């Protein structure tokens, strides 16, 4: 359980809180610094960006909304799941909410591990699980209208969904 | 007759559900004993346009994911969550 011990509150003191929902612009380095430690040989990062098109239509901007307390707990849950799959891997995840423009970072994931393979896998797993179980919603403004994007029915106990995330992480 | 014939709950709604109801936070009294499903039914009686969402929503009680048969006590917060789209 070395991975969990290393992310204890005392050891993380003075660092970025590892799981956050924020209205502020994201900082990849700060998120990565929340998970790095001397036993890490690798930190894999993922940055999700607001894209200028979706479903064949031009996108102008996105508004993100969250149920923040449950979103943070869901991010913590994803990290706990990843620590079981890849012992020694640690995650930090920051998701931005509010009004975002094209090119803005909406989510930053940092996965630290003694070895790179586990860092990449845990990072991929995290983004797949975020899209399945974290209560955050996109409201898309496109040329000619706006709509809520509705993806997955959130159910953290849905093992079939979790296995899909796991398979993608292990590709 | 118990004095606790109703439970007072805070209902949280998000994204499209919030827009349909016109508010993201509602205080309502529902008959006891109550569960999340009863709160949803009461809500759909007030806002019939919410009704079709039952098949795709999730619920949470006191900021934890829950099943619709989760019981509700006075002061509980129940949240109804449309399909998520973060990332």
Q: Give the pLDDT confidence of B22-41 residue by residue, as tens digits.
A: 999 999 999 999 999 999 99
* Residue A127 pLDDT exceeds 50: yes
| A100 touching B (Cβ < 8 Å) | no
pLDDT band of residue A17 (cuts 50, 70, 90) is confident
Nearest to B83 among A67, A139, A150 (CB): A150
Nearest to B58 among A71, A138, A154 (CB): A154
d(Cα A62, Cα A50) in Å, to the nearest integer? 7
Token pair listed for A171: 């590709």
Residue B84 DSSP class: B
d(Cα B62, Cα B72) in Å, to the nearest integer? 9
pLDDT band of residue B82 (cuts 50, 70, 90) is very high
Binding-face residues of A in 10-39 toward B, CB within 8 A: none
Token pair listed for A146: 């706006």
Residue A8: per-residue pLDDT: 39
**How high is the mean pLDDT of chain A?**
92
* Domain A14-169 CATH superfamily: Molybdopterin biosynthesis MoaE subunit (3.90.1170.40)
* Residue B8 pLDDT exceeds 80: yes
Residues of B in contact with A134 (CB under 8 A): 84, 86
Residue A16: per-residue pLDDT: 74
Q: How far are the Cα atoms of A61, B40, B77 from residue A98, in angstroms, in the given order?
A: 11, 27, 23
Q: A14-28, A112-126, B23-37, B72-86: lowest mean pLDDT where?
A: A14-28
* Residue A12 pLDDT exceeds 50: no
B16, B63, B64, B87: best to mutate for the A interface, most A CBs within 10 A: B87
Q: Which residue of A has its CA nearest to B18?
A: A65
* Residue B46 pLDDT exceeds 60: yes
Q: Is the ipTM of this complex over 0.90?
A: yes
Q: What is the pLDDT of residues A82-112, one digit of tens each?
A: 999 999 999 999 999 999 999 999 999 999 9
Residue A86: per-residue pLDDT: 97
pLDDT band of residue B3 (cuts 50, 70, 90) is low
Q: How far are the Cα atoms of A73, A156, B33, B34, B46 from residue B69, in angstroms, in the given order?
A: 21, 17, 11, 9, 21
Nearest to B86 among A136, A148, A156 (CB): A136
Measured in degrees and rounded to the nearest 5, phi and psi for residue A128 equal: -65, -40
* Residue B1 pLDDT exceeds 50: no
What's the CATH fold of domain B6-81?
A: Ubiquitin-like (UB roll) (3.10.20)
């Amino acid at each position: 359980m070395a991975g969990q011990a290393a992310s204890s509150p005392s050891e993380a003191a003075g660092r970025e809180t590892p799981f956050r929902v924020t209205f502020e612009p994201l900082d990849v380095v700060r998120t990565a610094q929340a998970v790095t430690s001397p036993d890490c040989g690798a930190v894999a990062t993922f940055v999700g960006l607001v894209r200028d098109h979706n479903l064949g239509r031009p996108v102008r901007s996105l508004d993100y909304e969250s149920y923040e307390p449950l979103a943070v707990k869901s991010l913590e849950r994803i990290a706990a799941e990843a620590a079981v799959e890849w012992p020694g891997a640690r995650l930090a995840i920051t998701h931005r909410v509010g009004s975002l423009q094209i090119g803005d970072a909406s989510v930053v994931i940092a996965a630290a591990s003694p070895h790179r393979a586990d860092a990449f896998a845990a990072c991929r797993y995290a983004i797949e699980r975020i899209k399945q179980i974290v209560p955050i919603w996109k409201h898309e403004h496109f040329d000619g209208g706006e709509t809520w994007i509705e993806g997955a029915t959130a159910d953290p106990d849905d093992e079939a969904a979790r296995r899909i995330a796991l398979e993608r992480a292990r590709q | 007759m118990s004095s606790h014939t109703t439970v007072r709950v805070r209902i949280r709604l998000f994204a499209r559900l919030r827009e349909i109801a016109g508010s993201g936070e509602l205080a309502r009294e529902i008959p006891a004993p109550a569960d999340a499903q009863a709160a949803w039914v009461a809500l759909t009686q007030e806002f019939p346009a919410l009704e079709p969402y039952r098949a795709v929503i999730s619920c949470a009680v006191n900021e934890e994911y829950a099943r619709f048969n989760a019981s509700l006590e006075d002061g509980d917060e129940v949240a109804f969550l449309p399909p998520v789209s973060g990332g």
